[in-house]
Amino acid sequence: MINKLDKIIFELTQKELIRQQDGLEMIASENYTSENVLKLMGSILTNKYSEGYPGKRYYGGNEYIDQIENIAKNYAKKIFGVTHINVQPYSGSPANQAVYFALCQPGDKVMGMNLLFGGHLTHGWKVNFSGKFYESIQYTTDKDGFLDYDAIESMVKTEKPKLIFVGATAYSRIIDFEKLAQIAHSENAFLVADIAHIAGLVAAGVHPSPVGHADVITTTTHKTLRGPRGAMILCSGDESNPTKKVDDAIGWSESKHNIPSLIDRAVFPGLQGGPHNHTTAGIAQALYEVQSDEFVEYAKQIIKNAQTLANEFMNSGLKVITGGTDNHLILIDVTPFDITGSQAEHALELAGITVNKNAVPFDTRSPFDPSGIRIGTPALTTRGMKENEMILISEMIVRILKNHNNAEIIEKVKNEVKELCDKFPIYKDIIY
C-alpha cells in the first residue's frame, strides 16, 4: 500500500518523466541512459554491502558482485586502452578528490583551469576542498577563449606545482593532452586529465585520448558515456611495477609511487565505504553499449549537431566563444541580444528548452547572473535528432532570446518544442 508521502514522490517522478519527454534537454552535462541501465539502477544490487575490491572484500556474499565489478573494469580497460581501472567513486568530484588524496599532501601546490574560464570546482577553485586544502594556482584561456599553452607552460615553470588538472566543463575545443603532458613532466608534476565531459567522444575515437600522456584520468559515466551517475579513475603502467612507465617519464630514479595502488587505497578505505553495486552494474551495461557501432555513429553525430548549432547561432548574431566547437558543447555570450545568462536560462526553460547560465571568459558580470549560457547536444542526439532538427532548435532558441519577455511567443515555442519531441520519444514504456 502506497502511503501519502510515497504517492507524492511517485507523482513527482512521473511529472519529471513527462518534463524530460516533452522538453529539449540541452545541458551539456546531461544525457538519457538506456532502459537497461535504468533497470539495473533500480535493481536488488543496491541491497548488498561490498567494502573492498573483488576477491578482497570485508563482507561475505560477494561472489556475483565481484564478477559484475570485474566485467565493468574489463570493459573500461578495453575501451580506453589502460591497464588499471577503479569504478567505485560515487561521482566525479569524489573521483577527483581521491586523486588528490592519493598523490598529494595537504598544502601541496596544485594547478587547474579557473572555474570562470571553463574549469571545474575540483580543479582548485577557492571555495572547494581542492582550493582550501591545497595551495591552488589557476590558469585561464586567452581573450578568445582558447587554452594558451605557452602561458600554461610559463606558469608551470614558475610555480612548479606537484599536480596539474586538465579538462573542463565549458571548453568547446580539442585539448592537446600530449603538449600538456610535456609541460607537466618537464617540471616533475603529475598530469591528471578529467575527461568527464568528453569521455564518450574519446571512447568512440572522435576526440584525442589522454591515455599515454596523462598519469591519471578521471571521468564521470553519465555524460557522453550515457551511463548512470558514477565515475571511474583510469591509469596505466608496467604490470609488474604499475608506475614504472610514469616514473621513467617524469624522471624519478626510484619507483616510489605505485599509482594504481595509491588510487585504490585513496578510494577505499581512504574516502569511501561500500561501493554502490547497482551503479557499478549500470556502468558495466553502459560500457557494453559503448562498444557498439551504433555508439560510434552516435558520438560522431553529437559533434555534427553541436557544430550545426554553433554555425546557426553565429549566423543569427550570437557570440559563440572560440567561434565554434570541436566537441559536444557550445558556450554562448548572449549579451549582444540585451539579455543575461540567467534571463536566457529562465526564458528558455519556460519554453521547454533546458540550458544553464554560464560565465564566459573575462566575464564582467556576476557568476550568479553571468553573460552566457552553455548548450550541449548529447541528449538531443540520444533521441535521434540530427542536423535538420538542430536548425529548427537554433531558430527556436534565437526567437526566445530576442523575445524573452513575450509570454505569447514563449508559449508558441513551447508548443513547437512539444511537437518536435513527440517525433523523437524517450522511455515510451515507463510509467511511475
Beta partners for 332? 320, 373
Which are the contacts of 250, defined by CB distance < 8 A and separation ≥ 6?
Answer: 185, 188, 189, 190, 215
For residues 158-175, average pLDDT: 97
In terms of CATH, what superfamily is 293-422? Answer: Aspartate Aminotransferase, domain 1 (3.90.1150.10)
Average pLDDT over residues 291-304: 98
Find the distance separating the first CA and the last CA of the chain, reported in whole Å: 15
Res. 319: pLDDT tops 70 = yes
What confidence score (pLDDT) does residue 411 get? 98
pLDDT for residue 210 is more than 70: yes
Identify which of 57, 86, 44, 321 has the alpha carbon closest to the alpha carbon of residue 218: 86
pLDDT at 242 over 60: no
Can you give the residue ranges of every domain in the chain?
38-290, 293-422
Q: What is the CATH number of domain 38-290?
A: 3.40.640.10
Contact between 345 and 351 under an 8 Å Cβ cutoff? The reply is: no
What's the pLDDT score for residue 252? 38
* Torsion angle of C-alpha atoms 422, 200, 50, 61, degrees rounded to 10: 70
Which positions are catalytic?
A: 49, 51, 194, 220, 223, 229
Res. 249: pLDDT tops 50: no
40-53 burial, b if ≥16 CB within 10 A, otherwise e?
Answer: bbeeebeebbbbbb
Specify the pLDDT at position 422. Answer: 97
Give this prediction's pTM.
0.93
Angle value at C-alpha 269, between 267 and 273, nearest 5 degrees: 85
61 within 8 A of 412, measured Cβ to Cβ: no
User: Chain-wide mean pLDDT for the chain?
Assistant: 93
Q: How far is CA 416 from the centre of its chain?
A: 29
pLDDT in tens, 41-77: 999 999 999 999 999 999 999 999 999 999 999 999 9
Instruction: Give the Cα separation of 102 and 416 in Å (integer).
Output: 50
The stretch 131-150 carries a mean pLDDT of: 96
